[in-house]
């Protein structure tokens, strides 16, 4: 049978067609606009997601035996606020994860409600990207729109609703709303009260691999599919991508070196660090995960090469880098401020330790190492609460660099596995659909059968020791500069 994973991203929707062995039978990408109505604002029209998803489905299925399609599920951009009225019409454009308008509401939640209280209710503190601050913003700035709200949902859930008619979300995506009691896997009445909403405005909660319904009859006819096609709840993009890399079950890890960088650690046990430096969320496998997100990862290397060195040949710039663990130059990778572990939008990127004998290679090396050191910062937080995987999957554009993979392996002292196939949240979505259809008994069983390792980078004890000394130096730089960052913004 065939299964479709829908990756609803910020710039495009990517659809993946897979069979239960993990073979990819086709992919289609459809773009849609991103709107910036004011500086710092970021919005999209949910109707565009749906239109392009349907167009993508039609293209994906053009030369396929449609009778073989059994299920559809999703991985989607998290945190975005989608609100519908009593007629199921979109009230206003969706406010996205990367929208920065809610600082006033974030400050209110963290400082007046209090971080300890928020953590008690939801296992997390407020960030500008989260959904609850957006609800408060609409309440304060668009009261007429707020009064019209009958349904509150996340981006991928809008697609699930349009395809199945079921008002649903999953635990992993709901964890990033600041409305979910993550430990007890239920909506937080206290947070609903704080936001001035009632629980009936929120979707029914499902496991990521759970069937929420079937394809609407009229859509099945339009697409040439059976009305028995299962729609599964899906997951937030990071959780779905983790499924696609086999990061499910206890003590597994995935590092993503994309535009932003994440370290994602799955666990059977619920855990929260004392400073809420990492997000504590439910996972698509039915358990939990810790996630750290740095706002600039591979984008640091892109900035350095494109804007400063004026080159697109990234590999050539890395060829002359040989003396690992001996660089005297350090780079703080905070080009966009930083989320994990500092939660400081005022943080900035810096080079430290430059001398007259510093070379171009030293600077390039520092950029790559800076991202790896910052990933170690997040890993150390997880270790402090007993989560310490000794190997990790790696994905994203930066993972294509053998040098960067070697740095990650030795700076974190973990084995780094590269998957054979990397199709991101779309692959994870298709795997969740397989479980919902009964092709596999669990998400873990699906991952064990489908995800394969292509190559592994193992840490070298001598290099680990050198990098340990460098990391101890690196981690003193941000605390020393924090007050300066706050003064120069």
pLDDT tens profile 67-84: 999 999 999 999 999 999
Query: Can you give the pLDDT at residue 23?
Result: 96
Please name the residues in contact with 97: beta carbons below 8 A apart, sequence gap of 6 or more. 10, 42, 77, 78, 79, 80, 129
Annotated catalytic residues are: 237
| Beta strand 391-395 pairing with 415-419 | parallel
Q: Domains, the chain, ranges and CATH?
A: 2-238 (3.30.420.40), 246-421+459-489 (3.30.420.40)
User: For 209-239, what is each residue's pLDDT tens digit?
Assistant: 999 999 999 999 999 999 999 999 999 999 9
DSSP 304: I
- Give the 3-state secondary structure of residue 62: coil
> What is the pLDDT of the chain when averaged over all its residues?
96
The reported pLDDT for the residue numbered 439 is: 98
Q: Residue 170's pLDDT is what?
A: 98
The reported pTM is: 0.93
pLDDT band of 128, cuts 50, 70, 90: confident
| Confidence class for position 345, pLDDT limits 50, 70, 90 | confident
Q: Is 25 annotated as a binding residue?
A: no
Residue 191 assigned ligand-binding role: no
- DSSP H helices, 320-442, are 360-384, 402-412, 424-436
The Cα–Cα gap between 466 and 322 comes to 14
């Amino acid at each position: 049978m065939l299964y479709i994973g829908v990756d609803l991203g910020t710039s495009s929707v990517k659809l993946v067609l897979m069979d239960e062995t993990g073979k990819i039978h086709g992919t289609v990408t459809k773009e849609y606009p991103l709107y910036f109505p004011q500086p710092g604002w970021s919005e999209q029209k949910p109707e565009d997601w749906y239109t392009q998803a349907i167009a993508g489905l039609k293209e994906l299925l053009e030369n396929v035996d449609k009778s073989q399609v059994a299920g559809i599920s999703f991985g989607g951009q998290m945190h975005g606020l989608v609100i519908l009225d009593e007629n199921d019409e979109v009230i206003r454009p969706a406010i996205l994860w990367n929208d920065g308008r809610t600082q006033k509401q974030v400050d209110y939640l963290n400082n007046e409600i209090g971080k300890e209280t928020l953590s008690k209710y939801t296992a997390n503190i407020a960030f500008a990207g989260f959904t609850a601050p957006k609800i408060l913003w609409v309440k304060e700035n668009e009261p007429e729109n707020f009064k019209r709200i009958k349904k509150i949902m996340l981006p991928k859930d809008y697609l699930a609703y349009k395809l199945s008619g079921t008002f649903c979300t999953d635990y992993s995506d709901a964890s990033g709303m600041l409305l979910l009691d993550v430990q007890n896997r239920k909506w937080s009445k206290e947070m609903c009260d704080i936001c001035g909403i009632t629980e009936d405005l929120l979707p029914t909660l499902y496991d990521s691999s759970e069937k929420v319904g079937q394809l609407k009859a009229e859509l099945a006819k339009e697409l040439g599919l059976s009305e028995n096609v299962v729609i599964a709840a899906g997951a937030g993009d990071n959780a779905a991508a983790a499924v696609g890399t086999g990061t499910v079950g206890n003590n597994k890890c995935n590092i993503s070196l994309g535009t932003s960088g994440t370290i994602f650690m799955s666990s059977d046990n619920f855990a929260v660090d004392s400073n809420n430096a990492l997000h504590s969320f439910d996972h698509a496998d039915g358990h939990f995960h810790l996630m750290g997100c740095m706002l600039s990862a591979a984008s640091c290397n892109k900035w350095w090469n494109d804007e400063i060195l004026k080159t697109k040949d990234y590999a050539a710039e890395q060829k002359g880098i040989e003396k690992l663990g001996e660089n005297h130059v350090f780079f703080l990778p905070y080009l966009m401020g930083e989320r994990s572990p500092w939660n400081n939008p005022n943080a900035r990127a810096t080079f430290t330790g430059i001398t007259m004998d510093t070379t171009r290679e030293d600077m390039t090396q520092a950029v790559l190492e800076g991202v790896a050191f910052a990933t170690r910062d997040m890993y150390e937080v997880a270790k402090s609460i007993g989560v310490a995987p000794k190997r990790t999957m790696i994905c994203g554009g930066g993972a294509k660099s053998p040098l960067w993979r070697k740095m990650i392996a030795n700076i974190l002292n973990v084995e780094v596995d590269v998957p054979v196939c990397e199709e991101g949240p779309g692959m994870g979505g298709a795997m969740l659909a397989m479980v919902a259809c009964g092709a596999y008994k669990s998400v873990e069983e699906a991952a064990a059968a489908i995800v394969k390792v292509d190559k592994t980078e193992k840490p070298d004890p001598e290099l680990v020791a050198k990098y340990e000394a460098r990391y101890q130096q690196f981690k003193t730089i941000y605390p020393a500069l924090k007050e300066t960052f706050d003064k120069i913004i």
